[in-house]
Amino acid sequence: MSENLKILFMSSEVHPLAKTGGLADVSMALPKALHRLGHDVRIAMPCYRSIDRSKFEMEYVTDFPLKINNFTHNCIIRKTGIKCSPGKKRAKASQSLPIYLIDSYEYFDRDDLYSNEAGDYVDNARRFGYFCRAALEMLQKIDFEPDVIHLNDWQTAITALLTKRVYGDERIFKNAATVFTIHNLQYQGVFDMQSLVDLDLTWQYYSPEYLEYYGKINLMKAGLIFSDVINTVSETYASEIQSGALGMGLEGLLSTKKSDLYAITNGIDYDEWNPETDPNLAENYCAKTYMQKKPACKRDLQKACGLPEKDVPLIGMVSRLADQKGLDIIERAMPELMKLDVQFVLLGTGEQRYIEMLYHFLKLYPEKCSFYLKFDAFVASKIYAGSDFFLMPSKFEPCGTSQLISLKYGTIPIVRATGGLADTISGFDARTQQGNGFSFTDYNETALLKCIEHALVIYQNRQMWNVLVKNAMQCDYSWEAAARKYVDLYAKAMAKHSIKF
């Protein structure tokens, strides 16, 4: 599609304003890439208290009354912008990507995005229902008529229903196609049936063909049922979620939507993740200079972690501490792994039981492992650059970005072949010298250890190892290619939408 599109990109988190996971990274990088291609992209997100006002200058745009379930809110719209490096079609255009922030003291003036120490906020359905309605009402106030409304995960999913059934008679929404992206099907926005009232929806939607879900309501279903097209973030994950194992209770619905389900593998933002320019590294390097300069990054990481500065294989990991990320098989593999001549460094936050597990192993193997149990972007860069291997033994992984970053940094991924990991990491073949990493299939500690041991054999052969590292660093997972695929997906959504209307 050659024409420039008007796109409203809705997300509950956008890096660097607010982030809990990979959704925030995609929600900045993809709109930036679309902007560089010449499209008019506007991001809408909640105006959380946690956004650093000293870093992001916010201007007042407008305010208006918003009535939901017989209660009138004063909705305030603010605006900030993120500078973008120019693309070929944006050479003379503004390089600021606009972000509209939906404010509400009642719903977003809180310490965290979705939860606190007691668990998820009990009014999350109301909070994000308000966000979705406010974003749609905002369009008329800012005089922006999108060709496409791009929705992301359950927090924005109800928008698809609203555009079709609540605002459907209004011209601005008759012409707007909807695209719904599943970033992680595990999180579906399941709430008590009474939340229908909070969302100001009629009881007709409390039925299996709409939002009803085992006696509750499921907001993810709104995105799946009412969007013009659906996509997920890797080919393998799109296939996996149509089965019982990873369908998370929605495999039946997803199977019926198969003709509208597409897959586009995520990219990474090389403006942010690039060993040639990363300011956090002891030495910057590229595919031509890594042999001379990457060892300095390894020594720097070992020193920062309090590990002996030895020339032994160093395995790194940056991850949430959760079952999904394979922490349970790491726990079972750890005693045997520590018998090998390796070091292990991990950065992550998450479940308390895994925090306690890591403290236990740190006491047992203080000379061989080091753990940072809070997220720190500075340390993350050092792990990506200073490690020899990057470990991702995920139980499931919709796409994953860490393996893509590690490729760019010449740090070889060891992954379980699932979802996006299966699509982006191909096992190194010593005979053909093709491949960019190592992978295993069975989800158990035996398969993990066998894969690591095989990787260590290749590591000892410096000629093959150098070929493998160059293979990895030459992989291109920039967002530009993915953005062009999204433009094609938008065209499909618009074509389908025009038929309906």
Secondary structure of 448-497 as H, E, C letters: HHHHHHHHHHHHHCHHHHHHHHHHHHCCCCEHHHHHHHHHHHHHHHHHHH
Which CATH homologous superfamily contains domain 290-476? Glycogen Phosphorylase B; (3.40.50.2000)
The pLDDT value recorded for residue 141 is: 95
Rg (CA), the chain: 23
Mean pLDDT for the stretch of residues 24-29 = 94
Task: Tell me: pLDDT of 143 over 90.
Answer: yes
What pLDDT, on a 0 to 100 scale, did the predictor assign at position 177? 97
The rounded distance, in Å, linking the Cα atoms of 222 and 162 is: 9
Write the DSSP symbol of residue 4: P
Instruction: Please give the Cα distance from 250 to 245 (Å, whole number).
Output: 11
298 annotated as a binding-site residue? no
How many Å apart are CA 392 and CA 437, to the nearest integer? 11
Pick the range with the lowest mean pLDDT from 67-76, 79-88, 209-218. 79-88
> Do the Cβ atoms of 81 and 25 come closer than 8 Å?
no
List where CATH 3.40.50.2000 sits in the chain. Answer: 6-267+480-500, 290-476
How large is the average pLDDT for residues 2-30? Answer: 93
Percent of the chain with pLDDT over 70: 97
The angle formed by the CA atoms of residues 155, 116 and 151, to the nearest 5 degrees, is 10
Of 378, 376, 408, which Cα lies nearest the Cα of 285? 408
Residue 2 has pLDDT above 70, yes or no: no
- CA–CA separation, 70 and 321 (whole Å): 42
DSSP 3-state of 261: strand
Mean pLDDT over residues 287-301, rounded?
A: 98
Q: Are 224 and 258 in contact (CB under 8 A)?
A: no
Between 475 and 376, the higher pLDDT residue: 475
**pLDDT score, position 395:** 97
pLDDT at 245 (0 to 100): 83
* pLDDT score recorded for residue 501: 57
CB 126 within 8 A of CB 119: no
pLDDT for the residue 377: 87
Given this model, what pLDDT does residue 88 score? Answer: 60
Fold of 6-267+480-500: Rossmann fold (3.40.50)
Report DSSP letters for 376-405, one per residue: -HHHHHHHHHH-SEEEE--S--SS-SHHHH
Q: What is the mean pLDDT of the chain?
A: 95
**164 — pLDDT class (breaks 50, 70, 90):** very high
- pLDDT classification of 233: cutoffs 50, 70, 90: very high
Residue 117 has pLDDT above 90, yes or no: no
Geometric angle at alpha carbon 408, from 405 and 410, rounded to 5°: 110
Q: Determine the pLDDT at residue 311.
A: 94
Lowest pLDDT segment from 44-48, 55-59, 82-86, 398-402? 82-86
- Say how far apart CA 276 and CA 264 lie, in whole Å: 27
User: Burial, 137: exposed, middle or buried (Cβ in 10 Å; 0-12, 13-18, 19+)?
Assistant: middle
Question: Which amino acid, residue 483?
Answer: A
Q: What is the mean pLDDT of residues 389-402?
A: 97
Is residue 47 within 8 A of residue 108, CB to CB? The reply is: yes
- pLDDT of 366 over the 90 cut: yes
